[in-house]
Structure formats: structure tokens, C-alpha cells
């Protein structure tokens, strides 16, 4: 059993909600995510007390298998569709599943989409997408000894 489950929900301005193939009871129709990556970077100069430059947000990268969301995501990129909201939910699997890391990106665009075949013996098609966005919020929910969430911590930032 996986230690966590990851799901993506994408809501385009023109395309509406882009449907994936998740069969999860709570996330049915969302996009199953294989992996993801995101970060920030601040430029500093040694000496003089550092830099006044604001930290820059990197693009949000998602890897997923080819599914029913693939061609709508391609169309959203090709048509430069505004992504009103994209929500990544990471959930701890187990007896008491817990959504413990939730990333919400708003006012974004899909900036790249690549498809490749991975694996030699049983190749699978995997897509890698990148999103840029104007606003991001990240909620982290620590898990208590009883397996339940213990409050939450929030980070929010705008890129403009």
C-alpha cells in the first residue's frame, strides 16, 4: 500500500473542470498524480546585509499517467486557457486517511506539457506538466498520535 495518495483538480476558465480517472471515493474524477515538484528561490548577495529582491516562485511541475484529462490539458495549453484554480491534495494512506498537504494555485496557465514512454519491459505513457500561477496557498496538517489532524499551518504568496 502506498504511503500517500496524490490528486489534482484543475478548473479552467473555458474548459471547466478537467476530469481525470481517479476511482478514489473522495476524489472520484480527479487526476491521479505520480509525482510533483515546486519551490521558491531568493537571490542574495554576500556582504551588505543581503538583497532586497523578493523571492521568486518556480513553476509547479506535475507527473501523471496519460488518462482522460490528457487531451483537455493539451487543449488548455494550446488555447492559453486561464486555469482559475488547480488543487493538489496529498493524503496519508492507511486506516484513517488524512489530507495533510494541500496546494491551491490560482489564476494560472499550463506552460508546458511533455509525454514520454517510461519503462522498458512494460512501457507506460507519462505526462509532465508545468503550471505558472499568480497566487499559491499551501496548507499542512500535522497528524496526531491518534491518526487525526492536529490543526493546520498555512503559507500564502502572490507572484505579482
Q: How many domains does the chain have?
A: 1
Q: Does 95 map to a domain?
A: yes
pLDDT tens for the chain, residues 1 to 160: 344 699 999 999 999 999 999 999 899 999 999 999 999 988 776 665 665 667 888 999 999 999 999 999 999 999 999 999 999 999 987 677 899 999 999 999 999 999 999 988 888 999 999 999 999 999 999 888 777 888 899 999 998 7
Distance CA 37, CA 41 (A): 14
Q: Does 45 map to a domain?
A: no
Quick one: which of 53, 36, 2 has its CA closest to 126?
Answer: 36
The residue range of the domain holding 116 is 6-39+52-158
Distance CA 132, CA 108 (A): 5
Q: Does 46 map to a domain?
A: no
Distance CA 96, CA 88 (A): 19
Taking only the tens place, the pLDDT of each residue in 106-141 is 999 999 999 999 988 888 999 999 999 999 999 999
Which CATH number is 84's domain given?
Answer: 2.30.110.20
Q: Does 1 map to a domain?
A: no
Amino acid at each position: 500500500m502506498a504511503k500517500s495518495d496524490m490528486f489534482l483538480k484543475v478548473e479552467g476558465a473555458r474548459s471547466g473542470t478537467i476530469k481525470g480517472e481517479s476511482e478514489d471515493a473522495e476524489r472520484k474524477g480527479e487526476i491521479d498524480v505520480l509525482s510533483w515538484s515546486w519551490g521558491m528561490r531568493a537571490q542574495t548577495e554576500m556582504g551588505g546585509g543581503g538583497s532586497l529582491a523578493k523571492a521568486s516562485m518556480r513553476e509547479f511541475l506535475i507527473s501523471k499517467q496519460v488518462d482522460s484529462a490528457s487531451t483537455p490539458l493539451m487543449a488548455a495549453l494550446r488555447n492559453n486557457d486561464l486555469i482559475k484554480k488547480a488543487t493538489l491534495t496529498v493524503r496519508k494512506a492507511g486506516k484513517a486517511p488524512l489530507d495533510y498537504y494541500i496546494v491551491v494555485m490560482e489564476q494560472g496557465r499550463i506552460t508546458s506539457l511533455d509525454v514520454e514512454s517510461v519503462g522498458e519491459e512494460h512501457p507506460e505513457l507519462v505526462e509532465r506538466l508545468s503550471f505558472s500561477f499568480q497566487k499559491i496557498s499551501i496548507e499542512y496538517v500535522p497528524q496526531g498520535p491518534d491518526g487525526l489532524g492536529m490543526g493546520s499551518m498555512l503559507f500564502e504568496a502572490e507572484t505579482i
